[in-house]
Amino acid sequence: MSELIEVLTKDGSYSLRSIFFQENFHSLFGALEETKIKFTAPSDLQRFKGKSLSVLDICFGLGYNSASLINELIKQESHLNLYALEIDKKPLEYALKNKCFHKLWAPKVKKILNSLYLNNSFDDQFFKCRILWGDAREQINNIPASTKLDLIYLDGFSPQKCPQLWTIEFLSKVTQKLNPQGYLITYSSSAAVRKTLRNLGLEIFTIKPSFNEKTFWSQGTVAIAKFDKNKMNSNLNLEKLSVMEEEHLLTKASIPYRDTNLSSTNGDIIKKRLDEQLFSNLVPTKKWRKKWGMTKSSFKS
């Protein structure tokens, strides 16, 4: 699983490509840029200025999402309780050896990342951080039941490559840990993921693209259990799903991934979903694509 290839992205930051999943950790447009646009900015961190927050980073990887989060929280003197889930130590090991990665962050951020790698934890008066190594479906059970999360970052490989982390069963476990106004944030705009989150009772928002390009109609998804309309108005990165996006949730692409015992292989999960799609009476996704002029590569369902 840990056979990786170094990738230089267009913003000058480094990422990796997984041979096992045949997928990059980040967009080629920029690892750092993607982190800021798809995770840090939608988090609306000003809400927590001088306050405490609890965060879960699922698929920690090289550490970009947590590093960017911590970088901002240092500036505003917030207190952080962080849990991270990751199956493979190699990406973080690579990041800590990469000089360009080091240049991106404040000294304290690098100290925290190094401590997570060596000791699985970091503690001081502002930050309490833990990383749990192993299958996220199992390790999520080691987060104290009393912990309620203000932010959850879900940044695994795409649903079609790593469906284990996008199933009804896993997302149900994850969303149960959200504070009522907590945000689950993911880069994915998959209809299956969005429909699952909506069926779990969360309000769904799209992360607006940073440029006007039809094939990039969303930078991801934010799901909130009980959102405050007044507070939402201040988050300029989010908006309600468009008509096109709502229609996407009526197609066969919205059929969920299932993993009843949270122990299935990716092959079994994908096969079960394909069988369900085959016999479904929902609108074929191809028809939706044709109506809206979408290319198959412009979304991950």
Domain ranges within the chain, ordered by starting residue: 30-298
Residue 17 pLDDT exceeds 90: yes
pLDDT digits (tens, 9 = 90+) for 71-105: 999 999 999 999 999 999 999 999 999 999 999 99
- What's the pLDDT at 2? 65
Q: β-strand 178-186 against 149-154: which pairing, if any?
A: parallel
Confidence tier at 299 by pLDDT (50, 70, 90):
very low
Contact criterion met (CB below 8 Å) for 201 and 226: no
CATH architecture of 30-298: 3-Layer(aba) Sandwich (3.40)
User: Which of 43-57, 153-167, 220-234, 258-272 has the least mean pLDDT?
Assistant: 220-234
Residue 196 CA, distance from chain mean position: 15
Percent of the chain at pLDDT exceeding 90: 85
- Calculate the alpha carbon distances from 154 to 53, 119, 129, 174 in Å: 17, 23, 17, 9
- What's the pLDDT at 294? 79
User: Which of 24-38, 61-75, 154-168, 286-300 has the least mean pLDDT?
Assistant: 286-300
- What's the pLDDT at 209? 77
- What's the pLDDT at 29? 85
Residue 298 pLDDT exceeds 60: no
